[in-house]
Structure 1
């Protein structure tokens, strides 16, 4: 990667930052102008993310190190692009485009500065995926959190405000833990550059290494809160279900940010040496507890929003368990599962609002009551009678059925392929060829049971919504609202069709992650641009 393409590494941060700044100078009454600026920024972002993804998936290998200010590591700010960060950038941009287009129907006009906060959220998330040091990870994490506070409260309402204040309190605590953890690591290691830190850990004395691991543990708690690991996850279903539909759609990527950072630090800092395997047991059993909690929550949920919120926990629990196992063959399938589940959950959050337009406020409660006690006044249909499902309900029903198949992991969609890849590797029939341990067998059972639970819940809610609707009203759905849902589900179809290429990309990415020397050498050997004044702020 050289020439102009090298400078594209910083573009996913600069594009939304510039857009957010421009949007602040446009009057709130000029909704169309603000929407066009935000949409243009997001479309440019997905274009850049796709180019970076294509570069990383090409034959040239790992070359994506960008030295901001033309200062060599570990003294300067470093951005690092590899297969994992390129994948997450493209996934974020895809979800962002869908959520933003969906919001243009009405949600962007329900409060002030929606587009500015949306762009700042993207800046924070993209920066967290690209940064190569813990201090700037904290900075981008705070930018992302600050924007998410405003987005969650967007649209007001008593339930949304209550959930938003709870969300703010929990995440402020997570930010404080983040700062404490970073301080402990810097105090013991003397550096926050991730590559430099990874090189110094094996050389630390035992007492200093213990303090460093304590800092890493505190830091890990902050990201486990964001990922939603039990018992740190009680805020998540309520907050996500209370958010506006497009906000919940983009929030689907936030829990994966926690997963990404845990995976990155685990493979880079604790892959070998005296600290090898640090935290893996906590991730394994914490992931199991999260998966059990999410499965119970899915079965117990009557509201669609709560069901989607607990589906996030099922996804997080599965991924945390895989990180705890620390096996490459399982992890490659888990990366595909991460992409598939994120696209599905984001589409599902936006689909929920469209589906619930056909129901009144008490429809679900009355349906549950009739399901439990029966309906004595129900008329039997005469022979030959039938009901024609309107076109809108047919489209919504098809999208709902696809979400059900993807969440439960049934064939033939990408959810099944991802789970099959994970389970086959766990059982020793995949690439590893090693008989599973008792813990892995428990994991296998939990993954299967969570899929069954999702199938039962989605089937129950689907029947109640599309076949036994109390009102029988057809919701008014705009094209601009259903197209983003179909776009995200279409991407899962693309993953299904291109499953072989996707798995190969995931395998290459995991092999790179499991060889931390590649990352360390790339950062430490990155050279500054000769003849360029570092104080001028020009990059490599």
Structure 2
């Protein structure tokens, strides 16, 4: 337990914290220096996240509980690394590196302290994935949100400021609810350590348990706001579509942070005992409503940014629905879908800026008008037999097609594999082995229809952008802008090729989550490192 690998658990928090502090002392005019420092820290963070993922998934007895200040739980602060947190850390790092590289083309220079806020965002997200108590979950949430306020407003502009003000107001209300929920839980259970709380819940008196569940419900509203469940999601599409491309790319992980918190707490606190299944009905029907709302939004969206924003809601609704079903086989497919959809949406947000550079602001509206009323020049004969597509447009078109395939869940990419895993489990051909009920058939229908809606919308947008572009101009795209998009899409291809090992990891992670005693025992039995001075004093006394 004293090996150097054990101390890697705190590295995903310390690396961005130190980097953000160092960047504050570098003059804003030294953009290249700041970018290199930030990129180096992010690449190191990605390496550490990958190393933790390999250690956690490997056949070893690595102890993933880290006692800060060497204080034992539940009195001290603990960080806990398990299969789920290791997966989310790696996913965050895999999004952060491409988003940061993309920003270095121009976005990092259009405002002050971009890199410091970016690193603080990573610190907050990583800390939320690792923390083992509710209060520090609130602290890391606030660090993440404070950084996200600045990043969302980065670049200025009236639309961005308007969406940013709404985003800030909603999240300030969520922060207040977070404190109220945490206070109720602490007042009834007497602890905020997650493992200790899970151990105490079965022994709480029924009247006090109702108050504790009320606090958990308020806390759940906070996570559902962040996840974007209907009707708490109206802020999300405008905010995400107004953000700059690299910011929207890293924001793709933030809605999944709400999903992570719900999955972690429902499995740990309400997986067994008298409160088992608490909130599952809300997640199930809320997820269904979110899919419906997001699907309608996807079909109605003319701007690509809005389409991507509503795609986030479809993804969140699908995952909330999976959590509401609370079945192991379906949850494993849902975890794979979480990874695939997050990578796809992040790539799509960054691709949108590159695609829209060749269009005027009113191009989408004009395209709809021409589609409805026809083009006055459509009957004129063409002067050429054909027009060759420029190389830039060809690359953008291939990336756009890949995003369309991933978001709609068509084969052969990872979006199809994840949806197939979920749907096969729902229909009884997977691990659950029971015939589907009417409710399950409804869920299956919604998942399929949301994919069809995504295919229709992406095909419509692709035709307008690449085949019948009004302007006919080729956007200027830098290598450091298209490579991050291609990198994320290649990750989804790798996830498809390695679908077997990936599903085994997801199955193992879900099985562990469904056994709260594993988490409780790991935290409660974590051993403090012996005090050096005390051991030295004891040896000297013994020698006399």
TM interval, short-chain normalised = over 0.9
SS of 2:448's partner is helix
Partner of 2:91: 91
Paired with 1:528 and 1:410, the residues of 2 have a C-alpha distance of 50
Paired with 1:154 and 1:424, the residues of 2 have a C-alpha distance of 43
Spell out the pairing of 1:20-419 with structure 2 (5 A cutoff): 20-60=20-60, 63-379=63-379, 381=381, 385-419=385-419
Partner of 1:537: none
Q: Which runs of 5+ in 2 are unaligned?
A: 535-544
Deviation at 1:434, TM superposition (A): 1.1
Deviation at 1:380, TM superposition (A): 5.1
Deviation at 1:533, TM superposition (A): 7.0
Paired with 2:383 and 2:153, the residues of 1 have a C-alpha distance of 51
Is the contact between residue 70 and residue 532 of structure 1 (CA under 8 Å) also seen in structure 2?
no
Is the contact between residue 2 and residue 529 of structure 2 (CA under 8 Å) also seen in structure 1?
no
Partner of 1:538: none
Is the contact between residue 305 and residue 349 of structure 2 (CA under 8 Å) also seen in structure 1?
yes
Partner of 1:17: 17
Per-residue CA deviations over 1:239-278 (Å, capped at 9, x if unaligned) read: 0000000000000000000000000000000001110000
Per-residue CA deviations over 1:320-363 (Å, capped at 9, x if unaligned) read: 00000000000000000000000000000000000000111111
- Residues 275, 62 of structure 1: CA spacing in aligned structure 2 closer, same or farther, 3 A cutoff? farther
The number of residues matched between the two structures is: 534
Is the contact between residue 55 and residue 62 of structure 2 (CA under 8 Å) also seen in structure 1?
no
Deviation at 1:63, TM superposition (A): 2.5
- Residues 150, 384 of structure 1: CA spacing in aligned structure 2 closer, same or farther, 3 A cutoff? closer
Paired with 1:199 and 1:338, the residues of 2 have a C-alpha distance of 29
Paired with 2:32 and 2:231, the residues of 1 have a C-alpha distance of 43
TM-score (norm 2): 0.97
Paired with 1:282 and 1:61, the residues of 2 have a C-alpha distance of 37
More RCO (CA 8 Å, sep 6+): 1
Per-residue CA deviations over 1:141-193 (Å, capped at 9, x if unaligned) read: 00000000000000000000000000000000001000000000000000000
Paired with 1:204 and 1:184, the residues of 2 have a C-alpha distance of 13
SS of 1:253's partner is helix
Deviation at 1:2, TM superposition (A): 5.1
TM-score (norm 1): 0.98
SS of 1:3's partner is coil
Is the contact between residue 125 and residue 144 of structure 1 (CA under 8 Å) also seen in structure 2?
yes
Paired with 1:434 and 1:239, the residues of 2 have a C-alpha distance of 42
Deviation at 1:379, TM superposition (A): 3.8
RMSD of the TM alignment (CA)? Answer: 1.1
Structure 1 stretches of 4+ moved >4 Å? 380-384
Paired with 1:531 and 1:90, the residues of 2 have a C-alpha distance of 33
